[in-house]
Amino acid sequence: KVYDDSREASVAVAEEIAALIRSKQATGETCVLGLATGSTPTKVYDELVRLHREEGLSFGNVVTFNLDEYYPITPDSLQSYVRFMHEHLFDHVDIPVGNMHIPDGTLPADKVAAYCQEYESKIASFGGLDLQILGIGRTGHIGFNEPGSTLQSRTRLITLDHVTKVDAASDFFGEENVSRKAITMGVGTIMDAERVILMAWGEGKAEIVRRTVEGEASHEIPATFLQNHPNATVILDTAAADQL
């Protein structure tokens, strides 16, 4: 779906999320959301906060799982996704403490593999993700599933691609400071979500969007695996759709 601009597109995504939260509330169910970070989803979070403040949207029945986190990183670091989520969403809505889950970037190396399995089990314990929102990296990564990530991959520690580190350099005040690794949900974890929305804005994403939508599904561009998801939508502004 192509929108005139990212603001209009983000409002539409927020409305879909709000409708899902409300429909689950109506039946007394928990709404399990898979959340993303980066610049792409910020206007969606702004609109969700507005819906909470002005239209009484409650997050009381919402449980969230974030896609990824740098490793190692402390939660109070400027670049941490824990900090990002609190600043952009969690601190402004009524989501119960304990309902948000973000991969832990502080664990000792020998604890990470078991932790990743627990993250998967926790998602499963809520019956899986109802909706996963995604941005896309210029490498075609979703979450931090860099090229080479298989369709079956699950939550794990990965090594960031060079292109991803270049793109993150300004956040870390220099490429040499960017974390070498990250913990990310796998492609398989994302594919198991009942509904997936991938968003991309701006001309800088136009080429990877074209390869994602029109190229062959392959681990060379992990986002292409979404072509085979039964309920995935790619939401673009006109600039990101320019090469389709």
Residue from 16, 47, 146, 216 carrying the catalytic annotation: 146
List strands edge to edge, sheet with 31-35: 2-3, 232-237, 195-200, 131-134, 31-35, 62-66, 100-101
Question: Considering beta carbons, is residue 57 or 191 the nearer one to ligand GLP?
Answer: 191
Cα separation of the two ends of the chain:
12
Position 135 contacts ligand GLP (CB under 6 A): yes
Question: Considering beta carbons, is residue 57 or 237 the nearer one to ligand GLP?
Answer: 237
Position 35 contacts ligand GLP (CB under 6 A): no
Q: Which stretch binds ligand GLP (CB under 6 A): 32-40, 52-60, 97-105, 114-122?
A: 32-40
| 157 phi and psi angles, rounded to 5 deg | -85, 130
Question: Considering beta carbons, is residue 99 or 179 the nearer one to ligand GLP?
Answer: 179
Position 68 contacts ligand GLP (CB under 6 A): yes
What tokens does 231 get? 């309920």
Question: Considering beta carbons, is residue 38 or 72 the nearer one to ligand GLP?
Answer: 38
Site for ligand GLP in 142-201 (CB under 6 A): 143-144, 164
Q: Which stretch binds ligand GLP (CB under 6 A): 13-21, 38-46, 98-106, 109-117?
A: 38-46
What single-letter DSSP state applies at residue 221? B
87 noted as active-site residue: no
Position 36 contacts ligand GLP (CB under 6 A): yes
Q: Which stretch binds ligand GLP (CB under 6 A): 25-33, 99-107, 136-144, 227-235?
A: 136-144
Binder among 23, 39, 150, 231 for ligand GLP (CB under 6 A): 39
Scanning the chain, the segments in alpha helix (DSSP H) are: 6-26, 42-55, 81-88, 112-125, 162-168, 187-191, 206-214
Binder among 10, 31, 34, 37 for ligand GLP (CB under 6 A): 37
Q: What angle do CA 162, 180, 217 make, to 5 degrees?
A: 50
Between the CA atoms of 226, 224, 237 and 38, what dihedral angle is there, to the nearest 10 degrees?
A: 80
Q: In angstroms, what is the minimal distance from the CB of 167 to ligand GLP?
A: 7
Count interface residues toward ligand GLP (CB under 6 A): 13
Interatomic CA distance for residues 134 and 195, integer angstroms: 11
| 183 phi and psi angles, rounded to 5 deg | -100, 130
Position 136 contacts ligand GLP (CB under 6 A): yes
Interatomic CA distance for residues 170 and 222, integer angstroms: 24
3, containing H or E segment: strand 2-3
Question: Considering beta carbons, is residue 143 or 186 the nearer one to ligand GLP?
Answer: 143
166: number of Cβ within 10 Å: 12
Position 218 contacts ligand GLP (CB under 6 A): no
Q: Which residues are catalytic?
A: 146
The residues that touch ligand GLP, with contacts defined as CB under 6 A, are 36-40, 67-68, 135-137, 143-144, 164
